[in-house]
Chain A
């Protein structure tokens, strides 16, 4: 059960973020900020997935597909000469639309079948990207321009705007976290947890199970799509690897290690591990680390790393 007053952790989080930035900039090491910014966008995906898997109990082995849909939509639009501001909103809308279309039939499935169906979805997205010239096939799309926000702020990888982008990314993550925390503590959050616990009893309590599952599925997809679109602009490019199974498995590993139904846990684990991975700390064993983490967590600590420390148990 979450503590009532979430203000303290949020302040701590903000404080740490600011501290990190100031320290790195002072030490003239702000190239680390680039990886931290990328880690933020990936963390946004994990947060959305945490809502879906941890709270609503619906497995998604293809979430990287939504990330890619958001990213590629933004990429195509911004490199095709459309109005510049359109790319990210379009990325989000298209992702939401696909999630809606896919979710309606697929969420009727359960367990293994849902896992396989979502796996297949991610696979299909990845193959379509690889096979379509519009998406740059194996080379992806590059030369994506900066995305201008208000007052001189822009999402871009330019060195001069590093600090700005660091804060933009983590601010969006903070917002995503707050919305998710709100949702979880609300009537809808209880409904989701009820669905996760016992679908039939939830329905008997008047909860429209299908509608709730779809809503959280679309929301989690939107988180991923937004992250994809923003990262595409930040990196100035996007490649087919973003849709692959390895990425999808990573997101699942991060949510599982964070404790499944633990938003703060997911945030922490994701920020840390993604940053390390981007720094190359795992070297060639990068994918193996995430696969191994997943297996280890599921075998020995299904409540996640933080679950080991907590008294209360959340049913996986």
Chain B
């Protein structure tokens, strides 16, 4: 394999990896504010793409995407309010099953509102034949968009958590809900906000990656599992670690194509997740730069004690 080809695999791996990372970040945000693993996370990407598709029939693309992000964010909040907010001390098993059921419902709703076909948003710039020459490889401009948008989201999120009052309030709530309440921070509103953020970010990621990987009503599940891989690799507490994990998973997945049959590509990420859960459950980056992460929290229970 030539250096250019290698680079190509690398770039495409980083691009898909950053999408997985965004899903992983969504998991992390919701987990840190509610302790819930939201299995429906992948569906937010699907919804973003689908809604944008519908909107762009009569709106220019940027507006369609903005609309899709806003609507999906609201859907996230709605899901939280309608299904989750009023549960008092639900058991872990119950929560898992509820969010899985919700992801199925969202999936099926999408199937009936749209259809089962594969769709794709138009390229944000250029089309499927255009390419940029970077270091001897040819990559699609959409890949550049994916990288740029993902990086922007991560930076914005980090700044939000670090420097805005609301962001700091969310961190406070996540690390010590009782104390936060005593300071006058209303947790319930922040929980809704965390769902909004996770959903909106997912939607935007879904829109930017749609021209490359297409959008289909059932794409959520595999994204959720791979995104969870990133979240866990990052120890469920650290946005930066989730990003690094995403890139790692994406690149490994991309590289695997040269060794394994294409159909097994999905298996790579999953096997990584299983390996991590079983061998190093606290995440790859536990202890490294944890304090620097925006949420900067240790996951309070590891995989082998959680759920009691």
Chain A interface residues toward B at CB < 8 A: 53, 57, 59, 61, 105-106, 108-117, 119-121, 123-124, 127-128, 130-132, 137, 199, 245-246, 249, 252-253, 256, 284-285, 287-288, 290-295, 298-299, 302, 316
Contacts and interface: CB of A to CB of B under 8 A. Distances in A.
19 contacts: A59-B97, A61-B96, A61-B100, A109-B304, A110-B306, A110-B307, A112-B92, A113-B306, A115-B96, A117-B274, A121-B274, A124-B270, A253-B101, A288-B105, A288-B108, A291-B108, A292-B105, A294-B97, A299-B87
B264 interface: yes
A113 B104 contact: no
A283 to B, nearest CB: 11
Given A117-B274, A130-B263, A287-B108, A111 B306 contact: yes
Interface of B: 37, 39, 83, 87, 91-94, 96-98, 100-105, 107-109, 112, 221-222, 225, 228, 232, 261-264, 266-267, 270-271, 273-274, 277-278, 281, 303-308
Given A131-B261, A131-B263, A287 B104 contact: yes
B304 A316 contact: no
B91 to A, nearest CB: 6
Contacts of B112: 284-285, 288
B275 to A, nearest CB: 9
Nearest to B305: A110
The 5 closest A-B pairs by CB, nearest first: A111-B307, A131-B263, A291-B104, A294-B101, A288-B108
Nearest to A302: B94
Given A57-B93, A105-B278, A299-B83, A112 B308 contact: no
Contacts of A294: 97-98, 100-101, 104
Contacts of B228: 116
A270 B285 CA distance: 44
Contacts of A112: 37, 92, 96, 303, 306-307
B101 A316 contact: no
Contacts of B101: 249, 253, 291-295, 298
A136 to B, nearest CB: 13
A116 B263 CA distance: 21
A120 B270 contact: yes
A216 to B, nearest CB: 16
A108 B98 contact: no
A127 B263 contact: yes
Nearest to A250: B104
Given A245-B221, A287-B108, A294-B100, A110 B91 contact: no
